[in-house]
Structure 1
Amino acid sequence: MDVLSDAIATMRTGRPHSSRRDKHAPWGMRFESSDGAGFHVVLQGSAWLLPAEGNPVALGPGDVAFLAHGRGHALASGVDVPLEEVRLGPDGRWPEPPPRPGPLTDTSTVLLCGAYQLDRARAHPLLSELPEVVHLPARVGAHRSLRAAVELLGMELEEPQPGSDTIVTSLLDTLLLYILRAWWQRERHGSGHPTGWSAALADPAVAAALRAIHGDPTHPWTVEELGARGGLSRAAFARRFTALVGEPPLTYLTWWRMTTAGRLLRTDDIPLRQVAQRTGYTSEFAFAKAFKREYGVAPGQYRRRAS
């Protein structure tokens, strides 16, 4: 199983939304904090990203900026221009763009912006360790899949056709994965000394164990079994896994089982017995006890709250 895809699928809620914006200087947009994540792509021209903390980031044609933590930020033609508040709808939908003030010129800025809704109650550590701003500058030959997805999304938003709603949603999900993949690949190969989850996914033994856990969370995994997946002894594997992932193997296994259970209770109307079975518990009572210890409420109560 793909650990990155699993992490995104577990946190994602609702539908992602996006919008194309054509701007003529001076312009500025302020985005309030939210539970979601967002991205900005400069298709033409330039812009300044003004994060809640840290220095302004200059964005040029083809640059991608991803903000994983939902903190307020601004996007503007300059660092000192007035900012107009942009408020997303309750479902994360973007407001309709204002009418284009005139034909695009060489000095116009064309932006592609998007928003994802996330359940931060069970944020996967793989996403939690991302910096305030993930900036992926445009470089010849770099991130070709990401550039292709951006181009397709821009075309669908510029000239909607029958089926565009479904295509745009699929492209936004694809774009998110390409952004994260590009970031971790850059971290892995950039400094030569990846850390955190970038290092965990790059480590053959730890990555093999993570794939095993995500591929079959119902299996009664032992540390010895997981270590054998990567050709390590029990003790050596436990030390390496804990150092890179931040917690022992079986602690992560339990966390992932409970995270999966929470998603099943929110999205699937299946009996608790089946939820227990799909998360590695042969007894509904044992599952309910473990779930309440993790979430503070019984599974049935959690499901009613989420509905």
Structure 2
Amino acid sequence: MDPLDALLTGPRAHGAFLLRSSLAPPWAIRVRDEAPLTLVAVAAGQAWILPASGDPVRLGDGDVAVLRGPDEYTVADEPDTAPRAIIHPGQRCTAPDGTTPYPMTGARSWGNTPDGGCVLVTGTYQVLSEVCAPLLAALPPLVRVPGATSPLVPLLAAEVVRDAPGQEAVLDRLLDLLLVGTLREYLSRPEHEPPPWFRAQADPVVGPVLRLLHDDPAQPWTVAGLAAEVHVSRAALARRFTDLIGQPPMSYLTEWRLGLAADLLREPDATVAEVAARVGYSTAFALSAAFKRVRGISPREYRERAAADRPPLASTGWRRLPA
């Protein structure tokens, strides 16, 4: 597992909101759902995205945009079209006057006409993993990858309206694949400045060390032990790792372990002791001390807050229909 693999396992879709919108001009949708991460793909036609700050961005056929929340944004046929629909937290949809703007036209299908010239596929991640924080920090609020040649956009557009056994799992994985491919292409483009952990993958010393830390965080790693694995001195590894990553190896490992622990703590049946063992702490007390020192709250408090902050399922028909 390289660092990009590891970080991209963070935003895994689990019952993500997915919708295929068929639209004919004039149309505009203001999104205020406060979702942490949203993907918008143009399966046909074109659209404009108007972020909360910055210039409007045009999306053409096959283009994919990734939006980092919680700021609102608008998707429209033209930048000056007034919103006809507003998406609220919990994926509740209303017109500006509070009425229902457009009906559902089928399974996970919505819009002002069933045969509109613009077809959008929207995938919204309701909850994100803690380990994807370095990835999100490296992204601007709006990422656009133009002219995507991936077959995943038309495939997802076709699958999203199907009802079949296991369809939710199929859609979640397709959404993940499209997100991973989009971000990988974005980070690899020469006009973008990649984050340090992305550049460090190619380093002959730091790259293998990152893979060791991500593959087996429960190992009792030391700088000396990691240096022996890559056949350099302890001082050389510490200096090179800090220069490329921006922090020492053990600080990076601590952040990685605590991010994993935070994700595991969301599992209701996992005890703090079990989580500690899985991420490299000898006891529950050791994990609790590190967690509170870095994050300011105990693992138990974090678990309670995470449960309270989980967004409720919407009761409106706007929500994705069950497969």
Q: TM-score, normalised by structure 1?
A: 0.83
Question: What is the CA–CA distance in structure 1 between the aligned matches of 2:152 and 2:80, rounded to whole Å?
Answer: 32
What residue number does 1:183 align with? 186
What residue number does 1:70 align with? 70
> Is the 8 Å Cα contact of residues 281 and 287 (structure 1) preserved in structure 2?
yes
Does residue 132 (structure 1) correspond to residue 141 (structure 2)? The answer is yes
> Is the 8 Å Cα contact of residues 238 and 248 (structure 1) preserved in structure 2?
yes
Deviations 1:142-164 (A, max 9, x none): 5xxxx222222111124444432
Cα shift at 1:223: 2.1
> Is the 8 Å Cα contact of residues 17 and 169 (structure 1) preserved in structure 2?
no
> Is the 8 Å Cα contact of residues 21 and 111 (structure 2) preserved in structure 1?
no
Cα shift at 1:88: 5.0
What residue number does 2:174 align with? 171
Question: What is the CA–CA distance in structure 1 between the aligned matches of 2:49 and 2:132, rounded to whole Å?
Answer: 25
Question: What is the CA–CA distance in structure 2 between the aligned matches of 1:16 and 1:299, rounded to whole Å?
Answer: 26
What residue number does 1:239 align with? 239
Structure 1 residues 171 and 11, CA gap change in structure 2 (3 angstroms)? closer
Residue pairs, 1:263-274, within 5 angstroms: 263-274=263-274
SS of the counterpart of 2:49?
strand
Question: What is the CA–CA distance in structure 2 between the aligned matches of 1:227 and 1:192, rounded to whole Å?
Answer: 31
Does residue 7 (structure 1) correspond to residue 40 (structure 2)? The answer is no
> Is the 8 Å Cα contact of residues 2 and 211 (structure 2) preserved in structure 1?
yes
SS of the counterpart of 2:120?
strand
Deviations 1:54-74 (A, max 9, x none): 211111111111113432111
Cα shift at 1:179: 1.7
Q: Which of 1 and 2 has higher RCO (CA within 8 Å, sep 6+)?
A: 2
> Is the 8 Å Cα contact of residues 10 and 260 (structure 1) preserved in structure 2?
no
Question: What is the CA–CA distance in structure 2 between the aligned matches of 1:94 and 1:162, rounded to whole Å?
Answer: 27
Cα shift at 1:138: 0.8
Structure 1 residues 39 and 211, CA gap change in structure 2 (3 angstroms)? same
Question: What is the CA–CA distance in structure 1 between the aligned matches of 2:122 and 2:78, rounded to whole Å?
Answer: 18
Letter in 1 for 2:187: W
> How many residues are treated as equivalent by the alignment?
294
> Is the 8 Å Cα contact of residues 35 and 119 (structure 1) preserved in structure 2?
no
| 1:101 maps to which of 113, 118, 124 | 113
Q: TM-score, normalised by structure 2?
A: 0.80
What residue number does 1:282 align with? 282
Gap regions ≥5 residues in structure 2: 95-103, 308-323
Identical amino acids, percent of aligned pairs: 38
Cα shift at 1:28: 1.1
Deviations 1:120-148 (A, max 9, x none): 87652122111222111116xx5xxxx22
> Is the 8 Å Cα contact of residues 8 and 135 (structure 2) preserved in structure 1?
no
Structure 1 residues 167 and 226, CA gap change in structure 2 (3 angstroms)? same
Residue pairs, 1:148-297, within 5 angstroms: 148-186=151-189, 190-191=190-191, 194-297=194-297
Segment of structure 1 superposing worse, 114-123 or 268-277: 114-123
The two structures, once aligned, show a CA RMSD in angstroms of: 2.8
What residue number does 1:118 align with? 127
What residue number does 1:52 align with? 52
Question: What is the CA–CA distance in structure 2 between the aligned matches of 1:192 and 1:98, rounded to whole Å?
Answer: 35
What residue number does 1:41 align with? 41
Structure 1 residues 306 and 47, CA gap change in structure 2 (3 angstroms)? closer
SS of the counterpart of 1:42?
strand
Letter in 1 for 2:288: A
> Is the 8 Å Cα contact of residues 29 and 87 (structure 2) preserved in structure 1?
no
SS of the counterpart of 1:261?
helix
* Bigger helix fraction: 1
> Is the 8 Å Cα contact of residues 241 and 249 (structure 1) preserved in structure 2?
yes
Gap regions ≥5 residues in structure 1: none
Deviations 1:197-236 (A, max 9, x none): 3312333422211111111111121223334444544333
